[in-house]
Every structure is written in structure tokens, then in C-alpha cells.
Structure 1
């Protein structure tokens, strides 16, 4: 089984690509209602995005509860550039035999604009090639650590990640503009279940993972985060792939 967590689709796509090549199944952990039974699994994979050089809260919660197993285990993170020590920190919680990072198109549009189309297509093609290589290694149960940690990885995955989780996950800056047509897609897809529709408009609760799926996937481009996203594009992988 290949478990995954995803906001704008990068990790979902990667998990499904990996599962297809390994003749396995991909499962969204945000939709699990109970801990999985790993008794009959031949391998366990985990795919997730990097948020501020760390694993998202639901991923950490999941691996802390995931039963230990004797089968081959591996983890793959998707990131804009670098993963820091996220994979090493994750392996302190669960014994993954192999770890990988995949560079994918930028989706954290609070911090920077989306990549241009040429860069997006190149990153996706490079990711396809990387997935082919890593699945060959996983199929042979090879122990591999191929993660782009980047400079100052300890600082980024330590102090910066702490600051992100402590101070940068607020929801007060989210709002819907007059473009909103009350479709409710943001509320339906929120992995934190923090968005509710009130009088036809989305209202954000306190819990937020900062996946930014609500902003990027809004078909009306009606959701903003303060002024940070007003001049930035939007990105979901579904606009660039059909597999």
C-alpha cells in the first residue's frame, strides 16, 4: 500500500504513479477513518509534501500510529527545491528503509509566485524519470537515501519549521472575493475539515495545515490570503497531467 497526503495534487500524483509502477494501491490518509491493517501488505510507502522543510502535521500523526511491520518500507517527499532534514526526522518516528525527495512545481503561493509553464513541465518530466528510478530500487528492496537536503538543513527543519507551525498556520488572512459562486469545493476538499459554507461563502476555522488547496484549486480563483496571493498565479497538477 502507498499512503499519501496531498494539498494541490503533487503528492497524490506521485503516489499514484509509484503505485501503478509497483502494481500497488494508493490511499489518501486524510480519508482514513481507522488505522490500516498491514498484515497482507507486501510493501509500505508514504508520499507527502514538504511544508517549511518538515512533514505536515497529519503525516506526523499518521506515522506515529502506523503499526510497525517486517515488510519493505519507504518514504517519498515532494518539494519545491529542498527537503531539509524532514526525512531524517520522519525516520526517527518510523523505520523507513529508503527515503527520496522529488522536486515538483511550486504551490506555496503565499511565499512566491507559481513556476512558469516551461519550468512546471520540466519538473514533472524530471519527476517521472525519478519515479521510474526509485520504483526500480523499491522493487528490489534496496536501501537508498536520495534526498535533496539543501544548505542549513538543520536550521530550516528546526527553528524555521517550528516558527512556521507556531506562527504561520493561522486562518485569519483567508477570504473569498465576490468571484465566489458558492460551489463549496474548498469545503469538500479541505483535509483539515476546517472550511464550512456559511451563507454561501467559505468560513475558515482555526485548524489549517497550509496546504493551500483551497486557494489553488478554486475554479473561480475567488480565494485569497491577505495581499500575499493577489498577484500570484494558481497551480494544481491536474492542469498539467492526465494520468
Structure 2
């Protein structure tokens, strides 16, 4: 498996209602351009599916790149790889999942009843439900006080999308099923799983992903890769993407 070039761009896709810029510390000093993509009102209003978002971004970022998807953003990155393996050379998923809702073939997902309760909360008061979800991003952190301080400015900025966009994002979460794609990815994939995830169950060892995929559980990682999880994540990403350590200094 050959490594990508030292100046390869990086496309970072954020998750439901969150700013992709929250992941910037993870990619500090990346040697190429970094394109941050949040699932904001512009994307959510012009696209009617995860695949449509992937197609829009492939047209916007045509150069061969590494794509990183956080949470729901992993669906976008994987869909983009399926649409154009020439443009998407490698995929990194962070706290990602092939399917969000539990089913007979994916028992590790969220229970449908729990999801429906949350969807009703979003419909009643999107802002309040979004804030509750944000706190789940850091739930389980060893450094809870520091985690809350880091989260505070993002809470103050509010969600990247309005109530309609948040509802649409939940619709995509409930319907998207990428199990077959994750079992047979056309490009090399690194799945970084969060050992302390309060949103998604760590599925390492329970799901047979593609032969081109590597699944690494990060014990200290919560749903938001931050704090003590940054160093092991960065090291895993460097080994996955680059052939020489000095191409991306940690």
C-alpha cells in the first residue's frame, strides 16, 4: 500500500450539527492544504442525501486528497470514496459507524426508540437538544474540567445549521446504511474508534470491515477526539497516510 504524497490535501467533514474546525488540533501542521466542511445550512439545503453531499464536495475538491470524516461525516467520506476512488485516496473515520440505528444486521447501533425520542426533542427545541448532544461529545473524559473549557466556545457559537438542517441530518442518520460499503471499501481506510464514546458503541472486533481497512480503538478517546486522544490518533494517522515520519511532524 503506497503512501500519498507529502503535500496531499486533506478534506475534513464534520458531524451532526458540529463545526469541522473542532478537529483542527488533530491535524496541526498537516503538510498540505486542509479543507474544512461542516454540515451547515448551505450543504443541507442544496443536498437531499449523504450521496448528494459527497457528489457536491467531490466537485468542489477535485484534487486527489485524503478525506477524514467525524461521526456522521464518516458517512460522507465513505460515500465520496465509493463515488471516486481517484479523488479520495484514503479515508480516515473518527468515531464513525456504517449504520447509526440498530437493526438485526447491526445490533451495535442506537435503539430506534431512543433515537425517536431524541428526534422529538430536536423537533420541539432544536437548540436545547443540540446542547445536550454537545455534552455527550466529551462524556467519559478523564480531564472533565479541561474538556468542558474546550467545549465552551463551541457551545457559545451554537450549531452550524438551523433547526431544519438538524432535523434533516437526523433523517439521514436514520436511513443511511453503509454496511456493504464498509465491508468492501474501494480505498484504504483507517477507522479510529473511541473507547469512551457516549454516542456510538466501539465496534472493533465485532464487524468484518474491508480488507483494505484498519480499525484501531483509542482507549482515551471520547466521541470528540481531543485531549489525551490526540497523540495516539495523530500517530495512527501518520503511519496510515505517510511513508516517512518527517512528512508530518507531530
TM-score, structure 2 normalization: 0.32
Q: Which has the higher contact order (CA 8 A, sep 6+)?
A: 2
Higher CA-based Rg: 1
Give 1 or 2: higher strand fraction: 1
Give 1 or 2: higher helix fraction: 2
